[in-house]
Amino acid sequence: EVQLLESGGGLVQPGGSLRLSCAASGLKYDIYAINWVRQAPGKGLEWVSGISSFGDTPYYADSVKGRFTISRDKSKNTLYLQMNSLRVEDTALYYCAKGDCSSVGCPGDHWGQGTLVTVSS
């Protein structure tokens, strides 16, 4: 059974940093793209970032470009999202979602349960 488990969320002050992790199990991790999607309280889904199975090409939403960095450690079956210069508007539940192919150009067929990031002073 495919499982994605996010961790690393928490309360941070504006301007601070957090690193989210997404640990994958039950799949051949290194052949699928993985994405981060966030959902602000009471709001819709917003794609944040994605990375191909090869890990060589990251993609970002304009709202986080230059502040967030996505990476993957295939030896640990884990995806990361390094979030710097956090803003109040980054407050959200962050999901990792596995694409059903090797590139970002596939929909998410498995999702984790999310980790909550709260940016507040």
Residues that bind other proteins (CB under 8 A): 35, 37, 44-47, 50, 59, 61-62, 95, 97, 99-100, 103-109, 111-114
Q: Which is nearer to other proteins, 9 or 108 (CB)?
A: 108
Q: Which is nearer to other proteins, 16 or 27 (CB)?
A: 27
* Closest approach of other proteins to the CB of residue 26, in Å: 15
Going from the C-alpha of 11 to that of each of 39, 41, 91, 93, 116, the distances in angstroms are 16, 15, 9, 12, 8
* Closest approach of other proteins to the CB of residue 6, in Å: 10
Q: Are the C-beta atoms of 100 and 107 separated by less than 8 Å?
A: yes
Supply angle C-alpha 74, 80, 81, rounded to 5.
155
Place of tokens 């710097």: 84
Place of tokens 């884990």: 78
* Closest approach of other proteins to the CB of residue 107, in Å: 4
* Closest approach of other proteins to the CB of residue 41, in Å: 12
If 0-12 CB within 10 Å is exposed, 13-18 middle and 19+ buried, where does residue 98 land?
Answer: buried
Q: Which is nearer to other proteins, 62 or 121 (CB)?
A: 62
Q: Which is nearer to other proteins, 8 or 114 (CB)?
A: 114
